């Protein structure tokens, strides 16, 4: 289960549920990176770009779940290089429930099923992982896989 949690975190790093976090408004004038941002300015935080920044991650475009093994970086919004659900008081209130649900769902799908590509001659290397950005991010072309029941289900007679 520890490796599954690393896979989920890496997936959220590369593909945050919302690429732009909820807008925030500055309360006072501030200078960041040489830019003067006046008070009452609406600011949009680009979580997608932050989580792929080369100064925070080695090989930021690669899917490497092992980077979260023995790594204190967490989803709670305390580590600003990894904020898929926001940070501070305005982070997603459903974070804990959503994370448990995703981990439970993926664990069951991997436990009960083996997965294969359709027999149309496609290879795993040919999968198109292109994304379409909007309010949320989704795949441009749906992923088609075939589930094969891997465990025999034995009904319980009570």
Give pLDDT tens digits for 113-141: 998 888 876 788 888 888 887 777 788 88
pTM of the full predicted structure? 0.80
Alpha helices, H only, the chain:
2-14, 47-50, 95-112
Token pair listed for 36: 């003067």
| DSSP H or E stretch at residue 42 | strand 42-43
CB atoms within 10 A of CB 64: 15
Residues of the chain with pLDDT under 50: none
> Annotation-wise, does 92 bind a ligand?
yes
- Give the start-to-end residue ranges of the domains of the chain: 2-107
């Amino acid at each position: 289960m520890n490796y599954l949690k690393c896979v989920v975190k890496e997936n959220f790093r590369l593909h945050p549920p919302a690429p732009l976090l909820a807008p925030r408004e500055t309360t006072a004038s501030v200078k960041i990176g040489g830019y003067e941002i006046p008070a009452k300015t609406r600011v949009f935080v680009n979580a997608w770009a932050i989580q792929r920044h080369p100064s925070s991650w080695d090989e930021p475009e690669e899917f490497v779940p092992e980077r979260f093994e023995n790594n204190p970086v967490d989803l709670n919004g305390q580590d600003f290089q990894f904020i898929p659900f926001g940070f501070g008081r305005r982070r997603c209130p459903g974070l804990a429930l959503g994370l448990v649900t995703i981990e439970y769902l993926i664990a069951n799908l991997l436990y009960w099923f083996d997965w294969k590509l359709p027999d149309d001659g496609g290879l795993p290397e040919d999968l198109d992982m292109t994304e379409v950005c909007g309010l949320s991010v989704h795949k441009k072309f749906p992923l088609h896989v075939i589930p094969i029941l891997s465990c025999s289900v034995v009904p319980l007679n009570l």
